[in-house]
Amino acid sequence: PQIFKEEFSKKVILQKIIAILLIGVGLITLFAFK
């Protein structure tokens, strides 16, 4: 179970990073095309 928990937390962190990157890219494109 411990290994599974670590893998799960890694996936959650990765999803958070991807979400932040997507938001950042969206904001950059919004400001770029204003």
Q: Is 17 helix (H, G, I), strand (E, B) or coil?
A: helix
Q: How far is CA 22 from CA 16, 17, 33, in A?
A: 10, 9, 16
Q: Where are the domains of the chain?
A: 1-33
Rounded Cα distance between 22 and 33, Å, is 16
Mean per-residue pLDDT, 8-30: 95
Q: Is the pLDDT of residue 1 over 80?
A: no
Q: What percent of the chain has pLDDT over 90?
A: 65
